[in-house]
Structure 1
Amino acid sequence: MPAPAFHYDAELRRYQPWLREAIAVGPDDTVLDIGCGVGTTTCEAARLAIRGSALGIDVSAARLEAARRLAADVANVRFEQADAQVHDFPPAEFTLAFSRFGTMFFADPVAAFTHLGRALRPGARLVQLVWQSGNQQEWLSEISRAVGNPAVPDDSPFSLGEPAVVSEVLATAGFTDLRFTDVAEPLWYGPDAGTAVDAVRPLRLVSDALAQLGDVETERALDRLREVMATHQSADGVWLGSRAWLVTACRGAG
């Protein structure tokens, strides 16, 4: 498990202002947070939707337990453990849906976004942050190089990395007015190199590589990883570059 000092919201802290400005939650919005994790973004949306509400949905029971603790003083927020691809949402329930890196893992993106579209009112906005392709991610190349794993073990984090692909998927699913904003921000992996190594060890590109090594080789790989993290350490912690698309669209009238 990651070290206690590491937290997903902290890792993505530089992306949050971009998302906040793009979703622009209004006081009457009914908001859906897709892949809400521990609920930070859901609670923030609920506090802005003072006459509306926010629903966070995630497949992880552990994350939602943390989300409910976080939301103890937020009256207009709730959470459900479910898969957004197939969950039985009330039709035309939401005026706004958003996701912070939670939509790239859909098994059938067209079917999933079509399903989500039915939960949105005509004209409702969909806002999502998705990773650009793997070759645009400094964190991926640096970590992979350190542990000797040049291949990306699972390309699903980057499945929505090409605007042409996303445009076709969303248009087929009934969305219009697509816009893409190129966002390049670093990711925070902890206050120091040791914490950063602990933070990334659960990643498949690290764990899969280390699983193929003996004890001596594993220690050498971890030493290289610590060196990489130390190289990227600044006064406020370890940062590695990343690149994402901020994608906005509207639910069509059909």
Structure 2
Amino acid sequence: MFDYDAELVRYNAHLQAAADIQPDDLVLDIGCGAGQTSRQAARSAREGSVMGVDVSREMVERARLLAEEEGVGNVSFVHADAQTHRFEPQGFTVTISRYGTMFFADPVAAFTNIGSALRPGARLVQLVWQAADRQDWVTAIRAGIAGDRPLPPGLLGGPFSLADRTVTRHLLAAAGFDDVEVTEVHEPIQYGADAADAHAALLDLGMIDFLAPDLDGASAAQAPDRLRTVLEAHDGADGVWFDSACWLVTARWGR
């Protein structure tokens, strides 16, 4: 299982600071993954509670196990799609998401559904990626394995679907959120303790297919070796790091 918590360690502090979870908060964590952000929120909301939601059953099971091992009792996890899941109406005072909202098929409908679970004035705090060409982990790896070919059009969506801050503001406003603020944040992300570790992780993650689906047979066969070369160039004393850029998006539920 790819370690997203290690990858995003530098961004996690930004999310926690912006969320500013209070002791009595009722928190909804969208796309909670293995539950790190949920457990951290639960420790802050010691008189409240946290629900983590993710579409990956494997991640949810891992999240439950880690919460039990760490003795975090005021957190629960649900295997569900936040776009359509029937949440308890007005059941939460804060919703957070660390890169868990970019894959919605219908963002307005999805954010409206999430909003229905929030109390009036409840806060939304999320991190989303800026555009693909602002990410060193995209451009450097893509160039290393595919040369100077332009980025494939498919990379304009997917994890970068909320990269346009104006569009994101309009989507949230259309869904019923007010006071939308979008702040730029830059941090490096880590792919492994060393090049070998990162190589295995990115192959398991399917990074070559994601960043270079347009390679022909010969180039595709050479891609793993080219990926290793890129990773070795980014291998430092404390791991393999690539620059990145995201938006910190905050808003309040206005309905």
Residue 144 of structure 1 contacts residue 151 of structure 1 at CA under 8 Å; is this kept in 2?
no
- Give a deviation string over 1:100-133, Cα, whole Å, max 9, x none: 0000000000011011111000000000000001
Partner of 2:249: 247
Pair 1:14-2:16 in alignment: no
- Secondary structure of 2:181's partner? strand
Counterpart CA distance in 1 for 2:221 and 2:193 is: 22
Matched, 1:85 2:83: yes
Unpaired segments ≥5 residues, structure 2 = none
Superposed CA offset, 1:109-160 (max 9, x none): 0011011111000000000000001111110011112221742544211010
Given that 1:134 and 1:140 are in contact with CA atoms closer than 8 Å, whether structure 2 keeps it comes out as: yes
So what's the TM-score if we normalise by structure 2?
0.92
**Separation in 2, partners of 1:139, 1:36:** 22
Question: Offset at 1:192?
Answer: 1.1
Deviations 1:148-197 (A, max 9, x none): 17425442110100110001000111111111111111110101112212
**How many pairs does the alignment contain?**
248
Deviations 1:33-80 (A, max 9, x none): 000000111011111111100000001111111101111111111011
Of the candidates 172, 175, 178, which is equivalent to residue 174 of structure 2? 172
1:181 partner SS: strand
One-letter amino acid matched to 1:15: Y
Structure 1 residues without counterparts, runs of 5 or longer:
none
Q: CA deviation at 1:221?
A: 2.1
- The percentage of aligned residue pairs carrying the same residue is 51
Q: Indicate which of 182, 185, 193 corresponds to 1:183.
A: 185
2:25 equivalent to 1:25? no
Q: Which residue does 1:130 correspond to in 2?
A: 128
| Secondary structure of the corresponding residue to residue 20 of structure 1 | helix
Residue number among 228, 231, 236 corresponding to 1:229 in the alignment = 231
Counterpart amino acid of 1:18? H
SS at match of 1:85: coil
**Runs of 4+ in structure 1 over 6 Å off:** none
RMSD, aligned α-carbons: 1.8
Which residue pairs with 1:34 in the alignment? 30
Contact 1:31 1:53 in 2 (8 A): yes
Letter in 2 for 1:76: N
1:212-227 correspondence to structure 2 within 5 Å: 213-214=216-217, 217-218=219-220, 220-227=222-229
Alpha-carbon separation, structure 2, partners of 1:165 and 1:207: 28
Listed as ranges, the matches of 1:16-165 within 5 Å are 16-72=12-68, 73-148=71-146, 150-151=151-152, 153-154=154-155, 155-165=157-167
CA–CA separation in structure 2 for the residues paired with 1:53 and 1:152: 41
Contact 2:208–2:223 (CA under 8 A) maintained in structure 1:
no
SS at match of 1:189: strand
**SS of aligned partner of 2:9:** coil
